[in-house]
Amino acid sequence: MTIRNWVKFFLRAMAIGGAITAFVGLIVRWDFFYGYIQAGEVWQFSGAFLWMIFLGFTMSVVAQMGFFAYLTVHQFGVNMFRTLTLWNWVQLLIIVVVLFDLVFFRFQLTKEDTGRTALYIFLLLVLIIVSAITAYFKAQWTKKYALISALFFMIVITTLEWLPALMVTSGNRDEWVTILLFPLLAVNAFQLLVLPKYNRQSDIDKEKLDKRRDERKKSKQQKKSAKAK
């Protein structure tokens, strides 16, 4: 990928992360924001809203780091297991293990708190459904065998990026767990589906650059020949 296209890719991913975090944060923490509105504290409201956007930018950077790390892990996995079929089975096993770990260890669900249980079941369904839809379109737009790898990235890598919020044991844990899942899913889906477009554009840009270089060389050679005559 050319630097120009990478910058576009990076900035658009950041914009998605910031917008989604601000929108979801406004909904989830409406009581907090409404307190500022009710008191007429416009600057405090603006500051808190901008902080949400900045948090989204941070989540976007985390997601992009996770994506490029996964590209390395995927290649390593294919090379280690020799065949893509075997690597896909390993990825499916890891997906099952990660989902099991989420439900029985990370979510810390209790029978007494049905509201909290419902929230985390909803978040789990969001994770699985968005991941499945993204993987489906990835397979449709590229190659069929990309389905498992895309599903692995969307579930396992997103969960790893989400893990710091899940490990918090105090404060408004449930609110932040909810808020941070959505920008991670959105940015990861964007990266997975749109990266090939930027790679193709980079190839086109490189061809154009090489063509211009060849034209300049020919032009210089023609000028030298004209002076020699």
Q: Indicate the range of 70-74, 148-152, 190-194, 203-207 predicted with least confidence.
A: 203-207
Average pLDDT score over residue span 130-151: 90
Asked if pLDDT for residue 214 goes beyond 70, the answer is: no
Asked if pLDDT for residue 229 goes beyond 60, the answer is: no
Identity of the amino acid at 84: L
Average pLDDT score over residue span 114-126: 92
Q: Quick one: pLDDT at residue 1?
A: 72
Q: Quick one: pLDDT at residue 145?
A: 79
Asked if pLDDT for residue 169 goes beyond 80, the answer is: no
Asked if pLDDT for residue 226 goes beyond 70, the answer is: no
For residues 186 and 64, is the Cβ–Cβ distance under 8 A?
no
Residue 168's pLDDT band (cuts 50, 70, 90): confident
Mean pLDDT (the chain, rounded): 88
| CA separation for the pair 23, 26 (Å, rounded) | 5
Give the model confidence (pLDDT) of 58-70 as tens digits.
999 999 999 999 9
SS3 for the chain is CCHHHHHHHHHHHHHHHHHHHHHHHHHHCHHHHHHHHHCCCHHHHHHHHHHHHHHHHHHHHHHHHHHHHHHHHHHHHHHHHCCHHHHHHHHHHHHHHHHHHHHHHHCCCCCCCHHHHHHHHHHHHHHHHHHHHHHHHHHHHCCCCHHHHHHHHHHHHHHHHHHHHHCCCCCCHHHHHHHHHHHHHHHHHHHHHHHHHHHHHHHHHHHHHHHHHHHHHHHHHHHHHHHHC
| CA separation for the pair 52, 62 (Å, rounded) | 15
Domains of the chain, residue spans: 60-203
Asked if pLDDT for residue 217 goes beyond 90, the answer is: no
Q: Quick one: pLDDT at residue 158?
A: 96
Euclidean distance between the first and the last CA atom of the chain, given in angstroms as a whole number: 43
